[in-house]
Structure 1
C-alpha cells in the first residue's frame, strides 16, 4: 500500500464515531483515501464513543459498514492494513478525565511517530456539544498548535445569525481561525468544484459570464425522500435553514463570484464573502413576493399511499415547518445587475436531482427572428447529482435538405472520464489533512449567509401558514413556487 510521504504523521480523533455520519461517510472516506495512497505515512484514527467496546469489536463494526457504504470494494489485504490504524476509546464528552486519557494516548502516539504529529479533531456530534468539546480541547491543550491541529465542525453552524455569531466567538476564544474547518459537503462534490475550472479556465465563458449575456440563474436541489428518521431534528430546522442558508448559497457564490487573483484559500473565500454581501436583503413586507414555502402532504405514488409530513414520526400534527423553500435573489453589483437568481429545494419531490441552470439572453436581432423557426434558449446546465455532467444547449440545423433548426446538447460527462469518482467527503477530508481551507467556510461567510435569509426566517417562524400542507408528495412543489419565476417571464427548467 502506497502512502503519502508529503503529509506529516496525523492522529485523527472522531467524536461521535459510532454515529450515522461516521459509519456512512467518514470511515469509508478514510478507507478510500488509504487505498489510493492519500493518507499520511503514519496515521491513527481514534474513535471516541460512550459505549464500552474493545478495538476488535469496533473494527468489525467498521468493516461491516464499509462493505455497505465504501466506494471501493473491501479486500482482505486492504482491510488488514487499514484496520491496524483504528483504535477505539470509551469517552464521555463532558468528563475531564476522558480528555486527560485522550491526551495521554495522543502523547504516546507522538512517541511512536517520533515527532509531535498533526491532530485532526472531527466533531461528528450534535451542535449542542460543540461548546463543551471545544472548551475541553482548549483547557487540556489538546489542540494548542495552530499550525498542526485542526477542528472540523459539521453544520448547522448555529440556528440563526445571532447564534452563529456566538458560536464563532466561542470558537475564536479557543482556537485560531486557521484551525477551524466548517464543513459543507456540497462544496466537495466534483461538479461543484468544476465550476471554478469551467469559469476561470476557459476564455470562451468568462467574458460572457455577466448581466449583459445571462438572463437568469437557477439552482435546484430536489430530494425524493422525506424526513425519514430525522423528523425531530427537521421539525426544528426546515428547508430554509437545512439547505438554502448553507448548500445553495455556497453554490450561488461559486457561480457569481468575481475572478480570484489566485487559488489561495483566503482569496477565494474573500470573493465568496463579496457575493454574500452583495445579495440584496429582503425586507419583511416583501418576503411573500420573493420567497415561497411549502410542506408535503399525503399522496398515492405507484399505487401506494405515502405519508404527508405531518404524519411522519416526531412531527407535530399542526406543524408550520417548511419542507420546501424557493427564493428569488438579486445581487447588487455591476456583474449581476437585474439578473434573478432562483433557488429552490424540497423533500418528497418528483425525483432526486441537484443542478444549476444558466440561461443566456436571446439574440436581440436574430437572422431567424422573422422566420417560423422556434428558437429555444441557450442554456448551460451543471448537473451535481445523481448525474454529474455539464451540458451546453444550443440551436443547430437538422440533418436534411431543409433549413430547419432544433435544440441540441454538447455534454461533458464526468462518469465517462472517471467512473469511480471520489466522494465529497474524501475530497474535504484530504484537504483538511493537507491544511487547505479553500472549500471550508470562514466565520464571516457563515454570518453573512445567515444575514441573507434572516428576514425570511423570522417572518416564517412568526407567522403560521394556514395553507400547509400545500403540495403532494411526489410533485415539484407548491403552485406558488412556479409563479416566482413566471412573473419575470421565466420558468423552472
Structure 2
C-alpha cells in the first residue's frame, strides 16, 4: 500500500551533476507513484545565483521524457525552490531557515526534514554544525541527513568526519548512501540465502568452495580523473560497494528482518574480515593500471593524470571471513576500469560431491550466479544426464535460468529512488552504519599501506583496454586451484 510521505528536502549541491542525473528523476518517480503528492517541497542550494524559475527549468530538463504531460512536469517542478548559498556563511543559514519554515507551513509538512549533502565531504561537518546551531533542525518532526561517498579516504579521516557529523545528528539519523545497496539483485541476496531451505542449509564452509564478486567497468576514468588520482580502485570500489556486497553474502542470518538486526549481522561479518599483514597483502591482493588498446588511451594519457601515475585502476583480492560458517571459504573480488564489459556479478561456487560415482564423467562444480547488472538475473548451473540414446551415462551442464520479463524490468525502481524512499520512511538497513565503515576502512588501510610501502614492486601499466585485468588476477585464483567463473 502506498503511503504519502511528508517531507522538506534541502539539497546541498542542488545544481550538481548528481542532483540532476539521479536525485531529481528519482524524486519525480516517487511523485508519479504517489509517495509524494502535495505535502512536500525541495530547496536546492549552491553558490550559483539562480532564480526559482531557472531552477525549475533545470528540474524539468532532468526529467525530460519521464512525464506524460507538460502539466505534470510543471506541477512537480513548482515544488522546487532555490537559494544561492555559501555553506560557510552563517547568515545564509538564517535565510535558509526562514524559507524552510515558510515552505513547511505552506505545504503542511509537519517539520519533517531530509538534508541531502550532495557535495564535497569536506563541507559535511560545517553544514551539519550550522543546521544544528541555526535551528534548521525542527522539534516537531524527523531530521535525517543523507551523505554521499567518499566517507573519508582512510580510517583516520573517516573518524574525524563521523565525529563532526555526530555532534549534530545521532547515528540513527545519519544515512550514508551506497547506491549498490539499492540495486534489485543486491537486495535479493538476503531473500535467496534466508528464504530457501536449499541455500540456507548449504551456505557455509561445508558446501561452498569459494565466492566470487566482479564489478567490471568498460569505461575509463573519464571526467573523474582528478578525483581518481587521489583515490584509485581500492578506495573507490572495494572499501564501499564490494565490501557491502561481501557482508551480505557472508553475514549470519539476522534474528529478524529489522534494521537493527540486519545491520548487526553485517557489522559482525565485517568485524570477522581478516586484516592482512604486509606479507599477506602481497600474497592475497593484486593491482593493475590500464594501458592503451582498442584505440583507447592509457590511464596515464587521460586528462588530469600524471604521466608516471601509480594509481591503480584494477584490484583483485582474496578475502577471508573468520566466522564459524565461512572460515576457510575464499571470497575473491575484482574491479577495474576499461575492462571487457560493464557488469556486476556474483558467483557462488559449491564443492564437488565427495564421491563421483560417474567415473567416466568429469563433474563440474554447481554454481549459483547472481547478475546484478546490466541484466538482473539468476542462474543455477548443475550436472545432468545427457538426453538421448547411445550414451553409457554421460553428464552435461544444465543451466536453470531466471530473467526479469520486460514488464518486470519496467517496475524495477532505480537504486536512488529506492534509497530515497527508505530514508523518507526511516528504514536504515540499506544504508551503511558507522561500525561497518570502521571495519572496512581498517581492512583497506592495511592494503593501501602495504602498497604505498612497496610502490616499486609493481610495474604499470599492466593490462590493455578491453581485457579483464592483468594476468596476476588469474594467477591469484590458480594458486588455490580455482578460476574466475565470469570470463569474456
Q: TM-score, normalised by structure 1?
A: 0.95
Q: In the aligned structure 2, how far is the partner of 1:391 from the partner of 1:427? A: 25
> Which residue matches 1:27?
24
Q: Distance in 2 between matches of 1:416 and 1:183?
A: 28
Counterpart mapping for 1:421-432 below 5 A: 421-432=412-423
Using the alignment, how far apart are the partners of 1:470 and 1:88 within structure 2? 48
CA contact (8 A) 1:147 1:179 kept: no
Cα distance between partner residues in 2 of 1:130 and 1:94:
11
| Alignment pair present for 1:453 and 2:444 | yes
Structure 1, 130-139 or 140-149: larger mean CA deviation: 140-149
Match of 1:96 in 2: 90
Gaps of 5+ in 2: none
- C-alpha distance in 2 between matches for 1:120 and 1:328: 39
Q: Which residue of 365, 382, 387 corresponds with 2:375?
A: 387
Partner of 1:210: 204
Q: How does 1:271-310 map to 2 (within 5 A)?
A: 271-299=265-293, 301=294, 305-310=295-300
Equivalent pair of 1:10/1:40 in contact (CA under 8 Å) = no
Residue of structure 2 aligned with 1:479, choices 445, 448, 471: 471
Query: Does 1:336 find its partner at 2:343?
Result: no
Contact kept? 2:67, 2:73, Cα under 8 Å: no
Q: 1:171 to 1:324 in 2, by over 3 A?
A: same
Counterpart of 1:173 in structure 2 is: 167
Alignment of 1:49 onto 2:46: yes
- The equivalences for 1:249-260 within 5 A come to 249-260=243-254
Asked whether the 8 Å contact 1:213–1:360 carries over to 2, the reply is yes
In structure 2, how many angstroms separate the alpha carbons of the residues matched to 1:126 and 1:60? Answer: 25
Q: Is the 8 A contact 2:110 2:141 kept in 1?
A: no
Cα 1:365/1:387, change in 2 over 3 Å: same
Matches within 5 A, 1:6-85: 6-7=4-5, 9-39=6-36, 41-67=38-64, 72-73=66-67, 75-85=69-79
Asked if the contact 2:12/2:44 (under 8 Å) is kept, the reply is yes
How far is 1:341 from its partner? 0.4
Q: Say whether the 8 Å CA contact 2:60–2:74 is kept in structure 1.
A: no
1:267-320: CA deviations, max 9, x gaps? 100000100111111001221101001000111x2xxx2100000010011111
Moved more, 459-468 or 79-88: 459-468
Q: CA deviation at 1:145?
A: 4.4
Tell me, what secondary structure is at the counterpart of 2:198?
coil
Between the aligned partners of 1:419 and 1:441, the Cα distance in structure 2 is 27
Kept after mapping to 2: 8 A contact 1:294/1:322: yes
Report the aligned-residue RMSD. Answer: 1.6
Q: Residues 115 and 339 from structure 1, CA distance in 2 versus in 1: closer, same or farther, beyond 3 angstroms?
A: closer
Q: Tell which deviates more after alignment, 277-286 or 456-465.
A: 456-465
Distance change (3 Å), C-alpha of 1:146 and 1:283: farther
Report if the CA contact (8 A) 2:269-2:321 is conserved. yes
Partner of 1:438 in structure 2?
Answer: 429
Pair 1:223-2:214 in alignment: no
SS in 1 for 2:279: helix
Give the gaps of 5 or more residues in structure 1: none
Q: CA 1:478–1:156 in structure 2 vs 1: closer, same or farther (change >3 Å)?
A: same
Secondary structure, counterpart of 2:409 in structure 1: coil
Could you list the per-position Cα deviations for residues 398-440 of structure 1 after superposition, in whole angstroms to 9, with x for gaps in the alignment?
Answer: 3211333211211221345612111000110000011111111
Is the 8 Å Cα contact of residues 146 and 175 (structure 1) preserved in structure 2?
Answer: no
For residues 226-276 of structure 1, the C-alpha deviation after alignment (integer angstroms, 9 at most, x for no partner) is 000011100000000000011000000111011111111011000001001
- Tell which deviates more after alignment, 79-88 or 345-354: 79-88
| Distance (whole Å) between structure 2 residues aligned to residue 207 and residue 40 of structure 1 | 45
Distance 1:106 1:4, change over 3 A: farther
1:182-197 matches, cutoff 5 A: 182-197=176-191
1:470 Cα offset (Å): 0.7
Alignment of 1:242-253 (within 5 A): 242-253=236-247
CA displacement, residues 13-34 of structure 1 (integer Å, 9 cap, x when unaligned): 1111111111110001001111
Q: 1:405 to 1:115 in 2, by over 3 A?
A: closer
Task: Give me the TM-score of the superposition, normalised by structure 2.
Answer: 0.95
Tell whether the 8 Å contact from 1:211 to 1:338 is kept in structure 2 after alignment.
yes
**Residue 480 (structure 2) pairs with residue 488 (structure 1):** yes
State the 1:117 CA deviation. Answer: 2.3
Match of 1:377 in 2: 365
Equivalent residue for 1:117, pick from 111, 122, 125: 111
Counterpart of 2:123 in structure 1 is 129
- Taking the aligned partners of 2:191 and 2:140, their CA distance within structure 1 comes to 31
The CA deviation at 1:146 is: 9.5
